[in-house]
Amino acid sequence: MGIVVAVIWPIIFANSPFINRIFETAPMNLEQWLICFGVALPAIGVALWVNRFDPPN
């Protein structure tokens, strides 16, 4: 559930006209989103792998 929220929330936030107006930004296009996901997905995999061998408990 946390991963889903962590993926969906930035998409909603970055494409919000209200936020774009405040920070004078523009929504990202599909290619830019794919680059972000391409970097983030391996990081999630590494975090899951580390937690398997060295749990935080």
* pLDDT one-digit tens code per residue, 19-57: 889 989 888 888 998 998 898 889 888 988 998 888 877
Please state, in angstroms and rounded to a whole number, the distance separating the CA atoms of residues 42 and 33.
15
Please state, in angstroms and rounded to a whole number, the distance separating the CA atoms of residues 32 and 25.
14
pTM of this prediction?
0.56
Please state, in angstroms and rounded to a whole number, the distance separating the CA atoms of residues 37 and 18.
24
